[in-house]
Structure formats: structure tokens, C-alpha cells
A and B are shown apart, each in its own frame.
Chain A
Amino acid sequence: MDLPVVLQLLDSSVRLAAPLLLACLAGLYSERAGIFDIGLEGKMLAAAFVAAATSAYTGSAWFGLLGGMAASILLALVHGLASITLRGNQLISGVAINFLASGMTALIGQSLFGLGGQTPQLDGPQRFGALTLPLAETLHGVPVLGPIWSDLVSGHNLLVYVAFLAVPATWWVLYRTRFGLRLRAVGENPAAVDTAGVSVVRLRYGAVVIAGVLCGIAGAYLSTAMSAGFIRDMTAGKGFIALAALIFAKWRPWPALFACLLFGLLEAVGIRYQGIRIGDFAVPVQLMQALPYVLTVVILAGFVGRAIPPRAGGRPYVKER
């Protein structure tokens, strides 16, 4: 393999990793605060649909992004109501949100546009276009580093950069701010946070809403940046791969980046090379597709380092009386 091929492969890994990364960080905020979130998929899907629909009506990808975030936050609040206020089962709530998004987007999409659940094709300002970073043209001639800068780093749409900048931002929020300290504490020992006079409920709602915002961006990315419109069930399990990446990363931001890049690379390789051969053994495409899930199971089983979730995860907090 020569440099251009490697760069193309990495380039598409980056594109494929961006939505995973956003959803993965969304899950990170929520789960670090002690709220399990298997509804990442549904929130992304709802956001993808509303973003594309809003963008189609208003002609602006920015309004689409706002609409997508609103839809995702709405579902996040339903999850918050169920799991924080009403102390319901967080997993069941997540399952419900996934189905709600899958059914509603197809139903409303058909009723609004009559295109079998799709939105119309988006183009021009209805989408987030590629950005050319400074010096991309001038540096192109420089060996190795030039193509890396101009082909791999430059030329993505805005939301890709948002996704990757969200990693250091999340690290900073989580480990360098008071909010982050409390967020992590509330996922480990909510009673201690409560004793310190900090509202567990408010912190957890905060985390859930942040997750909504990030899933909203991820959804908008899928339908208005990566593709040109919404197609039904377009998240196609990405929310669960993000969840897998979160476990893989043991609920930490920087490892989340590498987990998402790894899963993005797997997908990119799977798309580019339909038949990989190792010696005489032809690797089936399906194996490549199943690999993230298999890896997650292996990690979860603790065969390659143990993944220990936040201690208070999944348990509703009941104030002592």
C-alpha cells in the first residue's frame, strides 16, 4: 500500500468515526453521571431526521442542526424524566426511545414528504460542506506531511472538527472543572454528592441534556453532512457501536477517540476491501461488520483488561429520609 491509498483509508475512517465519537462522548457524559444510555441510537436517528427535514424546509443546514439538537434533547428529557424523576428502569427507557425514534421518523417522514420515509435530497447550503484549512494548497507539494495536512486533516466538514475538538473539551470539563468533578462523583457515589449539598437531580439532568446535544450533532452530521438527506433507519447500529466504543474506552475521553477511530477504520476497510485474504482464508465481509461487537464482548468479558462501569450506573438515586 502506498501513501495515497493509506491516506484515503484514514480519511474515510475519520469521516466514519466522527458520528461514533459524538455519540460515544454523549454516552460518556450520561453514564459517568450514573445514567445508562442505550438510547444513543434513537436520539441520533431522531436528530438525523429532524435535521434533514428542517434543512429541507428552511434551506439552511444550521437550522437543521438546531432542529436536530432540539429533537435529541427532547428524547433525552424523556429519558431523564423516566430514569431520574420517576426512578424507572433506564435500560427499558433507552429501548423505548430507540423504537420511538425508529417508528416516528419513518411515519412522519412518509407523511411529510411521501418518499417512503426519506427526506428530499439536500444540496448547497442545506448541507455542511467541506472546509479547506489554511495552507492546504500551498503545503500540498511538501513530501509526506503535505498530503497528510491537505488530504487527511483538511477538507472535512465543520462537524467533523467539532467531533474531534469535543474530545479535549470533554477531558477538560470532566477532569478540570468543578462540574466535571461533581459529574464523576454523582456516577460513583450520589449520596456523597447529595451530602455535600449539591443537587443529584440537577447534575444528572445536566448530563443527560449534554448527551442530547452531542447526539443531536451526531444525527445532523449523518443526514446533512455525511449524506445528502435522511433515509430510514440510517443510523444502522451506529449508536450501539458508539456504546461499544464507550465500554472499549472504559468511559474515558481520550481512549474513546482511539476506540472510535479504530471502529471507523474497521468500517472503512470493510467498505473498501470487500474480500480480504489472510493466507488462504478469505475473511468474510460479515466478520468485518461483526468485529466491533465481538471486540466489545471480549473486552466486557475482561479478557483484555477489565471494563468497570461507574459504580452507581443504572441505579436511580433515592434521597434518604
Chain B
Amino acid sequence: MTPALPRWADLVLIPGLNLALAFLVAGLVVVFIGEDPIRAVRILIQGSLGSSYGIGFTLFYATTFVFTGLAVAIAFHASLFNIGGEGQAALGGVGATLVCLAVPWPHWALALPFAILGAGLLGGAWAFIPGYLQAKRGSHIVITTIMFNFIASALVVYLLNNVLKAPGMSLETRKFGEGTYLPFMHEMLGAIGIEMSRTPMNLTSILALAAAFLTWLLIWRTRLGYEIRAFGHSEPAAVYAGIDPVRITILVMVMSGAMAGLMALNVVMGYQHRLVLDFVGGAGFVGIAVALMGRSHPVGVILASILFGILYQGGAELAFEMPAITRDMIVVIQALVILFTGALENLVRLPVERVFARRARG
């Protein structure tokens, strides 16, 4: 056995090198298209962090990714790979929408707890079925969650077409009542005298931080969290210790799905104020990259989410300044991050371990 790596190498060095590789390859792709990668990065940073407008959008996107990233991370701790974030988030949106449309809410503070419940309930329910099937019937969670993404997308199209559609051409619900609008960040900061441009960033960003903290508490400070980690580490050992695998699998999947569903608060209730077709827009999949990059730790997830927020917002500016680099570049970077920090992790880890082993001997 190679000796265990020092903590800093495990937590900083290896993810850092993996990330560097991913961005190196992304840079090569930019060169291949015939653009200057250094200038591209400058535009990217300028567009995402250079103004309060850019920062607002960056953090708005990041907020969404914190939820979907935590969703994947929670499941990772139990060794479950939840690819279904996209579908669970879509169902979460339906839940939040039903709550917002059902009652003429007088104030957002009243609507919010129920919207959290609605989004979490439907998102969680959409993950419950794959979780139940994995725990009770042994069907593979990855395959069922993929299938449930497609089923969710068909279901939402059906609902928007036949049940919730507002009069008009586009596939969306009617606008929510104003009593459900979450306060925007520029309004909240304006109230205490800080100037900020109008951006979609809203109260949900603070909820995302709270969600990250609660996830940390759950995983590392509760008995259930201990059981989840034990189960994720070794199922036979956990079962031997009296941990019920069915209960853990189902609970983890429901929590994961609920977390993914909560991203709807940010986009649907905080910004669009109606359910629009495809409002998830791949955020559920970004959550996979975010969780891998953040090594399933809430702090890592937040940092990785901000990075992807920068990519999303800066990428939009980039597509404007350098038309050859379309927004698809974000998908490429996302793929490279998943590839190098997830699948090809050992490309870096094995040599690094060898170097440390040699130093330990010599």
C-alpha cells in the first residue's frame, strides 16, 4: 500500500492539478478555434467580476449550482450517483409554481416556507422512486435517474401544454402574484444604502449558504450523516454495524432530490416569476461537475459553483466579444472538469502518490 497522502495534497494539490489540466485542454480548444485564450480569459473575468452587474449575475448562477451541486454531493457521500438533478429540479419548479399560483399570497415571507416545501417535496418525490427502486428492487440508480430526467421533461412539457399554460404562444405559466416575488439583492442592499446594479440575484443566494451549512451539519455532525458516510464507504461494513441500507438509500435520495428541487426558488420564484419551459437549462448536470470539483464538501461546492457562475456569466460576455467562442464552450469546460476531476483523477493522483512515497522512503 502506498502511504496516505498529506491532507493538503489530497484537498488542494490534486484537485488543483486536475483543474489546471482541464483548463489547459480548454485553452487548447480555444487556440484550435483560432482565438487567443489569454484574451478570452481576460474577457471572461472582466465580464463576470468586473462590475456589480457582472458579479450579480455570476452569483445568481452560482446560487443555482450550489443547490444542484449539494444535491449530487449528498448522494456521493452515500456512494450514490444521482444524475437525475435535472429532472428533480424541473419537478421542484413545478412544486414551487403550484404553491405560488394556488394562493394569492400577501407577502413573500409567507409564501417562501410553502414554496420551499413544494419545491422540496416534488423534487424529493422525483428522487424517491429511483431511490426506492435501488434499495428494494436493486435497479441501478444511475440508469433510473437518467430515465427519470427524460420522463420529467416529457411530464413538464405535458403540464405546460395541457394544465398550466397561460394564454399565448410561448410555453409558460401565467405570471405569479407580486406577493410571491422574493426580494432582489439590489433591493435589499439598496435598503441599507449600498448601490448595486439590477440583476436577478435574490434572497435565494442567502438560502443557498444556509443550505450548504445545513448539509455540512448533516453529513459531519449528526448520527444520520455518520451512517450515510459509513454506508458510502462500505455497504457490508455499514450493514454489519446495524445500519439499514434501504433507509439510508431512500433518505439520501429524497434529500438529494429535494436539494435539487430547491434551485427552483432561485430561478422560478426569485427571477422569472413564472414556470418557463427548460428553466433548468442544464443546471442539474452542472451540479455533477460542481460536486466533483468541490470534492462533495459544502465549502468546495460553493467555490466550484462560483467558478461555474463566472463561466456562465463571463461566457455570455465572451460569446458577445468573440463570436467564435459560443456558449457551448461552457459545456466543453464542464465536460473537461468532469473528465479530469472525476474520471481521470488517477492521471494525477497516481504519479503524485508515487512522488510522496519516494520522499517518505528517501
Q: Interface of A with B (CB < 8 Å)?
A: 38, 78, 81-83, 86-93, 95-100, 102-104, 106-108, 110-111, 117, 237, 240, 243-244, 247, 284, 286-287, 289-290, 293-294, 296-297, 300-302, 309
Contact = CB atoms under 8 A, between A and B. Distances in A.
A88 B345 contact: yes
Contact of A82 (B140, B155, B333, B339): B339
Nearest to A79: B343
B330 A293 contact: no
B151 interface: yes
A103 B33 contact: no
Contacts of A284: 158, 161-162
Interface in B193-244: none
Contacts of A111: 33-34, 324
B338 A302 contact: no
A15 B328 CA distance: 30
Given A95-B285, A96-B336, A103-B334, 18 more contacts: A38-B142, A82-B339, A83-B343, A88-B346, A89-B342, A89-B343, A93-B343, A99-B285, A107-B29, A108-B32, A108-B33, A286-B158, A287-B158, A290-B155, A293-B151, A296-B147, A300-B133, A301-B137
20 contacts: A38-B143, A78-B339, A82-B343, A86-B345, A86-B346, A92-B81, A93-B339, A99-B332, A102-B328, A103-B331, A107-B326, A111-B33, A243-B143, A244-B143, A286-B158, A293-B150, A294-B147, A296-B147, A300-B140, A300-B144
B328 A110 contact: yes
A93 B342 contact: yes
B139 A302 contact: yes
A309 B342 contact: no
A309 B343 contact: no
Interface in B236-291: 285, 288
A243 B147 CA distance: 10
Interface in B21-36: 29, 32-34
Given A107-B332, A111-B33, A82 B344 contact: yes
Interface of B: 29, 32-34, 81, 83, 129, 133, 137-140, 142-144, 146-148, 150-151, 154-155, 157-158, 161-162, 285, 288, 292, 324-326, 328-336, 338-339, 342-347, 350
Contacts, number: 150
Contacts of A287: 154, 158
A108 B332 CA distance: 11
A287 B150 CA distance: 11
Contact of B292 (A92, A296, A301, A309): A92
A146 to B, nearest CB: 39
A297 B147 contact: yes
B331 A92 contact: no
Given A240-B150, A300-B144, A302-B139, A92 B343 contact: yes
